[in-house]
Chains A and B, each alone.
Chain A
Amino acid sequence: MAREVGAVLTIANLVPDLLGTYGDGGNALVLAQRARARGEEALLVAMAINDPLPDASIYLLGGGEDGPQRLARDVLARGSLAGRVRDGATVVAVCAGLQILGTTFSVEGDDQYAGLGLCDVTTKRGSTRSVGELRVRVGEHLLVGFENHGGRTTLGEGVAPLGRVEHGRGNDGVYDGFRTGNLWATYAHGPVLAQNPWFADAILSSVLGYELEPLDSVADLLYEERSRTIRS
């Protein structure tokens, strides 16, 4: 649901028991802490496998192994995530979470599975697995992180990539992730928002509806160091 001004900012980690292989829970923590540092009241919630979809302004989807990825899709398809997104909720998805948001995905073998269909994005199994540092040009910024996946993702008409790959594979070796409506997705798994404070603030700003004041922290030093280290 779109958030009312002054309301508590609720951030929900979706099925972290299935999608949380790579420290992805860190992203929810980063959003909450950076919102609190700006005087917002933030609440972190987690949706377990048997829970109903919680009411939240931001939903996060992490990475996961093949079996749990399919189960996560089934669990989430039963809920009303699509409806919440139509009502204005934001989704931030990494890795397996990115694949689940689309219309179809293949994991082991070539069997195709239905995704949640929130956007026109399809993922096939690539010929190789991509494991390593990822560096993506997003406008004036860099997005730095680590990817570990075997997917090749194709974006449909009207779905804009998040950025252009400068090192690593991302979706297809050229582009990484996507940004469409309230959906943000990248193959940089784990605490990508911790390594890229500008990215966390861009998401928060879009949800809160105002420009955020800069927030000096050690995360800026980490971002500078990783941007220098991961060469294109």
Chain B
Amino acid sequence: MSKGPSPRDRLAIAALRGLNRVSRASGRGAGTVIGGRAGLALSPNLLASLARDRTTILVSGTNGKTTTTALVAAGWGGDVVTNDTGSNMPAGHVAALASSRSPRAALEVDEAWLGAVLAQARPRVVVLLNLSRDQLDRASEVRQMAERWRSVLAGGDEHVVVANANDPLVVYAASDAKNVRWCDVPTPWQADARSCPRCTLALEHGEGTWRCSCGFAKPTAITTFLDDGLVIAGARHEMKLVLPGAFNEANAAMAVTALVEVGVNAADALARIGEVEAVAGRFTLRRWNERTVRLLLAKNPAGFDALLSSVEPDNSDVWIAINARDADGHDPSWLYDVPFEKLRGHLVWCLGERRLDLATRLDYAGVEFRVVDDLNELPHEQRAVELIANYTAFSQWLARSVPC
């Protein structure tokens, strides 16, 4: 039998809940980070204490964390506690766990915090989606991140790692882990893994495979796609999603693989995941100024690449909003890693605080653009709008618009 929380932990939990109530009531925030920080200050091991009697699944990676965590929670069914406010560091984790007695937890984890959270939360499953360039002025460089993951995941046999076999950096990160379930899922972005994560020589990419002359190569996957179906450990399942894009098929496949590891029936999980329509406002249709706007979040080249492949510029206006605040990273150089050339032949409306950076990028890509200095300059047509925005620009548009 496990012990209940210590007196110190009980005090920390009470302080956390009290502060978060005040924070929410005063309208100053979603009420997670402030209380969570206070709780951790009073009891540094609070996360371990709160996670002790739960079955926990962690989700990390550059892109798809929030969506995949939501899919894990939905696919599990019933009461699942999750940090769905986007606070993906320990303060957000303890705030979420303190708010619920659910024995099941699905937690999104910032890449840089994976080691610390793993040590405290002691999850049953860790899902590693992908690693690519993202906010290089803030986070460490992507190969260093893979190296850090490798060292924290090495050896541990209390958890299972569900890892993307098509991302060489993720494969490297999980290469010394004891129990790995490799997933062969769509991963179009390979620009950060052209040189071998182990020896830096050039990786050879073939049809659905990759390898290096040093012997480092794509591992054999337990989860794979076959003729529109999902195969997990030899069993074939139908997969139909409301969420758009191949990237969401990858997210869903990895969520189901993780759920199978904690005893959930794959077909049941897939049925529940298939009904998810939106995650934290993403992919939702909103109304703004009498126009219907589909809000899409992309924060880095890999995310943008995936969305540019899924928008339909023939049938809708394309608006793109770029900021470069703290949460976005201050350096928008990454715009030159996004293949905006895909939008040639279409008009793009440039929004956000760094709209001139975007417009210059589009100009050099040969894409027609308009710079929107005042939102009243946006056209009043009846066509639907696809609005792709990076993090803080997305938040601004979510606040500015209303549900359909």
Residue ranges of A at the interface with B (Cβ–Cβ < 8 Å):
17-18, 20-26, 29-30, 33, 48-50, 65, 67-68, 70-71, 131-133, 146, 148, 189-191, 194-195, 217-219, 221-222, 225
Contacts and interface: CB of A to CB of B under 8 A. Distances in A.
B200 A68 contact: yes
B363 to A, nearest CB: 5
B342 interface: no
A191 B338 CA distance: 12
Interface of B: 133, 136-137, 141-144, 191, 194-195, 200-202, 330-331, 333-337, 356-357, 359-361, 363-366, 369, 371
For chain A, what secondary structure do more than half of its interface residues adopt (helix, strand, loop), or is it mixed?
A: mixed
> Which residue, B143, B195, B336, B365, has most C-beta atoms of chain A within 10 A?
B336
Given A49-B195, A67-B143, A131-B137, A22 B333 contact: yes
28 contacts: A17-B194, A17-B195, A22-B331, A23-B334, A23-B335, A23-B336, A25-B336, A26-B333, A26-B336, A29-B364, A33-B364, A49-B194, A65-B142, A65-B143, A67-B200, A68-B195, A70-B200, A132-B330, A148-B331, A190-B336, A191-B336, A217-B363, A218-B356, A218-B371, A219-B363, A219-B364, A221-B359, A222-B359
A133 B354 CA distance: 14
Nearest to A146: B331
Contact of A194 (B201, B337, B361): B361
B356 A29 contact: no
A131 B357 CA distance: 19
Contacts, number: 100
Given A26-B364, A194-B364, A218-B356, 7 more contacts: A17-B194, A21-B133, A23-B333, A25-B337, A49-B201, A219-B360, A219-B364
B137 A71 contact: no
A190 B331 contact: yes
What are the nearest 7 A-B pairs in CB distance? A190-B333, A26-B336, A23-B336, A17-B194, A23-B333, A49-B202, A222-B356
B355 to A, nearest CB: 10
A26 B361 contact: yes
Contacts of B137: 131-132, 146, 148
B136 A22 contact: yes
A17 B363 CA distance: 24
A214 to B, nearest CB: 16
Nearest to B350: A218
A2 to B, nearest CB: 26
A225 B143 CA distance: 33
A71 B141 contact: no
Contacts of A71: 195, 200-201
Contacts of B333: 22-24, 26, 146, 189-191
